[in-house]
């Protein structure tokens, strides 16, 4: 399952609410899923991080690909945010290509 939306590197690490992004669409095998509709019933927090963190994730963490980023919702968003913050502290702030952000 993937998310269809466009985010930039500067969107990383900031908590957001699904109600502010009605264009968020969950896709699976080229079709919009019912999850897209369910996410509009109630606001959910989410966070975006660079895809370079993918290798540091546990397979049980519900994280979705969204272009060159990863996105997680609710409790998983808190865990992903912590990973992002630790990653920045260890190697300095970097973009999705691994290069330092200005």
Confidence of residue 79 (pLDDT cuts 50, 70, 90): very high
Report the percentage of the chain scoring pLDDT > 70.
74
SS3 assignment, position 64: strand
Q: How many domains does the chain have?
A: 1
Alpha carbon distance 99, 27 (integer Å): 30
Which residue has better confidence, 21 or 35?
Answer: 21
Confidence of residue 22 (pLDDT cuts 50, 70, 90): confident
The domain in which residue 50 lies consists of 2-91
Which residue has better confidence, 75 or 18?
Answer: 75
Who's near 10: CB < 8 A, 6+ residues apart? none
Q: What is the largest CA-CA distance in the chain?
A: 39
Specify the pLDDT at position 8: 85
Is the pLDDT assigned to residue 95 strictly greater than 70?
Answer: no
């Amino acid at each position: 399952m993937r998310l269809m939306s466009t985010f930039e590197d500067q969107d990383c690490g900031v908590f957001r609410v699904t109600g502010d992004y009605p264009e968020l669409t969950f896709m699976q095998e080229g079709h919009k899923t019912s999850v897209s509709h369910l996410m509009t019933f109630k606001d959910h927090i989410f966070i975006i991080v660079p895809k370079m963190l993918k290798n540091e994730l546990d397979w049980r963490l519900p994280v979705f690909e969204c272009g060159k980023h990863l996105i997680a919702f609710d409790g998983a968003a808190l865990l992903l945010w912590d990973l992002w913050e630790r990653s920045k502290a260890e190697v300095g702030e970097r973009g999705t290509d691994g290069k330092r952000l200005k």
